[in-house]
Structure 1
């Protein structure tokens, strides 16, 4: 079976449409992997995808999954399919869990009911973003790293490692990890400081990309403004320049029922337009890729 990809957007994302009644699971995996590597965003349309099919499809390309600590899980999915239900407002650009050492390789989304108006999933190519920043700001981000603070109850950090994970498991996971400092409280809550660069090497091609969670965390970290690792504030001027770059390369998924989308989390940021339709149903999985 030959795939016939169509251009999806200005970032190089591609669309694969169902042609002859084939299932997602019938698609040639090596061809799909090649598109995922090169495009970074791949939409599959017309395949009647849903949460169960998304998990089966993602299984073919993944060796393990983790979870978002704020989203409810779907029964029967082993906890690895979650509903995207956190509020209905605009969601700032971010890479999934890039504010922690638990960052997955890929995001998978599927839609069974789009919002009547709004609610599009937005995404931004970190390679294009990096190119759009001034040389002066690039120098700042090369010299200074982002610093994130997180608190996870035991039930929340077990979402990353598994429901039966122990304190010994979380220590084994974090000890020696670059940029990580942590403290475990008597109630087994985890207090974590995570330092990472705003510009990363993409998984495929090893190209510099501005792929991080600066914009979603800037005013959220412990209620205070974020700082760089040297303690200096990330100023409004810096954020405004990043916003201008983001505005220059925003892409959107205008959902149809049954759509499934793959996003390379090492390269692309994502977010969401606001909506008011309470019947909107989008599901997600987070995985580590096997290729």
Structure 2
């Protein structure tokens, strides 16, 4: 690969620069994928990428895209979305890790950076796991996270499950095939779903343990039970994790036209609060064919 490559902060991530106004579609797919496997995060800079080009470029590496019903889409396929609205901070999380439809990779494209701050933050779940005490590791290895969704309209569930979910039997067949999912169809044409999963994820390429999950969102935002046995993490464990996140925070200092490819099986992401409503960052989610 002829393009200039340098480190992204102190992480394993890399910045890959355009060479002489290079078109991003001229990059070698194989070489780009090898860089992604080893780094987990690539910031493509100087290529002037648009949200549509983000989707088109991602198709070169992906076997399918995933609709995110929690965001506002800008394309007819509903695959390209605005990131979460507002200017508040966002807590560290791996995308869709509270659902049984976790994508391999999350793509970000910035068209308008905030004048000040507004960086996307990210954390290496492998390093977070390595920093955890043995007691906390044993806790997260011994208990499953539990996420409950009550009274989802059947028609909405059809859209979530995709084109093969035409009937109730189709939906049951798909739900039965998903690990960690239990469900109940209700008389009022809704479905209640519970999803249990480990907080510890095997990274897709290095196969290392990674603390890449939705735990911190639920720990900070709710008072509900987080684990499948009806318990929550202790204040001591929460304080330990917060200290580790503070220590390992990395930043993506956005420029217009930047594209980011992030391994969602390894990294968590979020953002700090900012005050510029002009900021525009878009995302698409996909599963990789490599």
1-side partners of 2:185 and 2:85: how far apart? 27
Shift of residue 79, structure 1, vs aligned partner: 1.1
Cα deviation, 1:63-118, whole Å, max 9, x if unaligned, reads 11112222111134x21101114222010000011111011110000000011222
Is 260-269 or 141-150 further displaced after alignment?
141-150
Between stretches 4-13 and 34-43, larger displacement belongs to: 4-13
Q: Judge conservation of contact 1:180–1:195 (CA < 8 Å) in 2.
A: yes
C-alpha deviation, 1:159, in angstroms: 4.9
3-state SS, counterpart of residue 70 of structure 1: coil
Q: Secondary structure, in 3 states, of the residue corresponding to 1:248?
A: helix
Post-superposition CA distance 1:36-73 (Å, at most 9, x none): 11110000001000111000000001111112222111
- 1:227 is paired with a residue of what secondary structure? coil
- Output the CA distance in 1 between the equivalents of 2:153 and 2:270: 25
User: In structure 2, what is the equivalent of residue 37 of structure 1?
Assistant: 37
Alignment of structure 1 residues 266-277 onto 2, 5 Å: 266-277=265-276
CA distance change for structure 1 residues 187 and 40 in 2, over 3 Å: closer, same or farther?
farther
Q: Would the aligned equivalents of 2:4 and 2:19 in 1 still touch at CA under 8 Å? A: no
Q: 2:62 — aligned with what?
A: 62
- Partner residue of 1:213? 214
Shift of 1:158: 4.5
- Sort the Cα spacing of 1:16 and 1:169 in 2 relative to 1 into closer, same or farther, 3 A: farther
Tell me if the contact between 1:130 and 1:208 (Cα under 8 Å) persists in the aligned partners. Answer: yes
Deviation at 1:136, TM superposition (A): 1.0
Q: How does 1:181-196 map to 2 (within 5 A)?
A: 181-196=182-197
Q: Deviations over 1:126-168 (max 9, x none)?
A: 0000011001111111111111112444464455433784344
What is the rounded CA distance, in whole Å, between the counterparts of 1:103 and 1:190 in structure 2? Answer: 20
Measure the CA separation in 2 of the matches of 1:143 and 1:85: 32
Question: Is the 8 Å Cα contact of residues 46 and 259 (structure 1) preserved in structure 2?
Answer: yes
Contact kept, 8 Å, 2:3 with 2:19, in 1: the verdict is: no
Distance 1:36 1:186, change over 3 A: farther
Equivalent residue number for residue 93 of structure 1: 92
Give the Cα–Cα distance (whole angstroms) in 1 for the partners of residues 41 and 220 of structure 2: 28
Structure 1's 132 and 200: CA in aligned 2 closer, same or farther, altered over 3 A?
same
TM-score, L = length of structure 2: 0.93
> Would the aligned equivalents of 1:16 and 1:43 in 2 still touch at CA under 8 Å?
yes
Q: Does the Cα contact within 8 Å between 1:68 and 1:159 map onto a contact in 2?
A: no
Deviation of 1:219 (Å): 4.8
Aligned residues: 288
**1:6-37 deviation per Cα after TM superposition (whole angstroms, max 9, x unaligned):** 11121210010001222111100000000111
Distance change (3 Å), C-alpha of 1:188 and 1:65: farther
Please give the alpha-carbon distance, in whole angstroms, between the structure 1 residues aligned to 2:226 and 2:123. 23
Distance in structure 2 (CA, Å) of the matches to 1:122 and 1:100: 22
Provide the residue aligned with 2:174 in structure 1: 173
What is the TM-score normalised by the length of structure 1? 0.93
1:29 to 1:145, Cα distance in 2 relative to 1, 3 A = same
Once residues 58 and 265 of structure 1 are traced to their aligned partners in structure 2, the CA distance between those partners, rounded to angstroms, is: 14
